[in-house]
Every structure is written in C-alpha cells, then in structure tokens.
Chain A
Amino acid sequence: MIKRHDSLIVQTISHLMIPIFHLFGLYVLFHGHYSPGGGFQAGVMIGAALVLEMLVGTQNELKKFSISRELQAAVTGLLIYGGIGALALFSGGEYLNYEALSFLGKDPSYRRYWAILIAEIGVTLTVSMTVVIIFQVLAFFPEKEKVK
C-alpha cells in the first residue's frame, strides 16, 4: 500500500509541474502531425502525470480516481478509434478508409488529416487510462497481505 510522499519539496514541485505535464501531453497529441509524438506518447505522458498526482495526493484527492470510471474511459477511447473506422464503413468506403467520411470536409486529404487526429485522441485516452489502472492495481491493492 503506497503512502503519500511526505517530502514538502516533492509535493510543492509536483503541484507546480502536474498541470505542465498535462498541457505538454495535450501539445504532443495535437501536434503529432508536425512534430514527433502522437497518440501513444501523449497517452503515456498524461498517464505519468496522473500517476504523479496519485503519489502526492491526499486521501481526499485520491477518492476521485475510481477504477470503474477509468475502465469506462479506456473503452471509450477504443470505441472512438474503432468507431471512426466503422463510420467510414457506413459512409460508403471500406473500414478505416477515412476518405469516405463526408462530415470532415470536401477535400479527401483534409478528411484524412482530421480523422488521424480523432483516432489519435482515442489512442491517447486508452493508453493513459491503462497506465493509471495498472498503477492503481499495483500500488493500492495488495493491502494487508504481501505476496509471498
């Protein structure tokens, strides 16, 4: 069972840096078209920021992390990615053929541009929530009995 980190320096710096990590993770996600990055990198970075929150958070702050909500968010991410492919199938093209999605604009290359972004958002959601779930399982579950 992980206790809250009790060093004042760590807590202060974390409270300053956690919003910056989240913001940088979102930057990496949305600039995945132009700079190195994209869905997986942004997902791991946002997951790491949430893990840091759980390491320095009080018991009150920890209450908002519930595993069922995180599972729901992870499944939503997967459904976003699979769903954009299915939407392409229903709009007339093949599965994951983004050029068939007419609600994203007239030019086929811009349709692919926006569909790539939507798929990356789904990937980021799934990866970040999975990192948080695995951390919570490893840190908070073996409460009284230690694994022999």
Chain B
Amino acid sequence: MIEIINVVLIVFMLISAVGALRVKELVSAAFLTGCFSFFAAMLWALLLAADVSFTEALAGAGIATIFFLLALFGSTHTIRPQAVSFTWKHAAAAGLTLGLGILFLWGSVGLPAFGDLTAPAQMHVSPFYLLNTIKDSHTPNAVTAVVVDYRGFDTLIETSVIFTAGMACLLIMKDKAS
C-alpha cells in the first residue's frame, strides 16, 4: 500500500530537484543534488532495499557531491547565467515534454499495483533466486548472490565501465594540465 511517508519523500525529492535547477549559486545547486540523493536513499531504505540505499547514500549523497564541488572549484563560473526570454521554441519544447509525460502516466495505469504479489516481475526468476541462494552458494544476501553469481557477467562489465570512466577523466584533465 502507498504510505504517506513515501509520498512525502517523493515530494521532497521533487522540491530539491527543482531547486537545484532554479537556484543561482551553483555551489548550492551541487548541495541540492546531494540532498536529492539523500532523500532517494531514505526512500529506498523505507522500501527495504538495503543495498541500493547504502550505495545511493555513499555514492550519490557523498562522492558525487564532492566531485561536483571540486569541478566548481576549478572553474570561474559559479553563478548561473541569466536565463533567456521565453520564446515559441521554449513553448514547443515544454509542450512536447508535457505530452511525453502524459503518455507515460497513461501507460503506467496498466502496470501492476504497488506491492502486488502476483506481478510478473515476482513470478518469473525472482522466486528461483530467493529460494535457491542458500542452497547454491550459502549466501543469505540474495542481492550479492544475484549480482556476483547468477548475473556475474553484468557485474564484470559494469566494473570495467567504472574503470573506463576513471581513465577517461584522467585522460581529459591530463591534456589540460600539460
């Protein structure tokens, strides 16, 4: 069932996201992005997704905010530039985005109810993983077992993507330093 605290957290997430887009000082915008990640971490914790909440709090509210602030320290643009006036192009873009949003909302009516036990996502491979992790690998934490054992190939490629991101950052900035 949809509890009121979930709605409150989502509203706070919306407020901090809109604030990060509208505020004038970019340092404040970086902090508001961290705020958004913090509320998202609380939401995942309330939905009992402990691993995701842990990672979101560490990486989103911690490391990503640090990286945004460091990027701002290295640049001279710390005030958001003046917004241009509202022309017909902006109106067309806003209309298209609103139309896409309405399409999404219309499509979401056909999704299963929140917390439905007979949803297709809970019927196909999830019961197999949840019932067989302890027998297959003595790992009570099903998330670790799925991520590293049952779907280990995805994690390998994801790790190499993380490494590539670090390398790309290094290659871009090394060019500027020399």
Contact = CB atoms under 8 A, between A and B. Distances in A.
B162 A41 contact: no
B51 A85 contact: no
B74 A138 contact: yes
A123 B144 contact: no
Interface string A104-148: 000001101101100110110011011101110111011101111
Contacts of B58: 41, 44-45, 48
Nearest to B51: A36
Interface string A71-96: 10011011001100100000000011
A112 B101 CA distance: 45
A66 B116 CA distance: 52
Interface in A4-61: 32-41, 44-45, 47-48, 51
B138 A33 contact: yes
A2 interface: yes
B148 to A, nearest CB: 5
A62 interface: no
Contacts of A71: 167, 170
Contacts of A33: 138-141, 144
Nearest to B170: A137
Interface residues of B, number: 47
Given A44-B55, A142-B177, A126 B163 contact: yes
Given A82-B156, A119-B148, A148-B76, A75 B137 contact: no
Contact of A41 (B54, B136, B160): B54
A110 to B, nearest CB: 7
A137 B54 contact: no
B152 A85 contact: yes
Contacts of B159: 77-78, 81, 122-123, 126-127
Nearest to A139: B70
B144 A113 contact: no
Nearest to A51: B66
Pairs of residues from A and B, 7 with the lowest C-beta to C-beta distance, nearest first? A36-B50, A130-B166, A112-B137, A138-B70, A142-B74, A44-B58, A33-B139
15 contacts: A40-B59, A41-B51, A41-B55, A44-B62, A71-B170, A75-B163, A77-B159, A78-B159, A109-B137, A116-B139, A120-B148, A123-B159, A133-B169, A137-B169, A147-B74
Given A119-B155, A131-B63, 20 more contacts: A2-B70, A33-B139, A34-B140, A34-B141, A37-B144, A41-B55, A47-B63, A48-B63, A51-B63, A51-B66, A109-B135, A112-B149, A113-B137, A116-B149, A119-B152, A130-B162, A137-B170, A138-B71, A141-B174, A148-B75
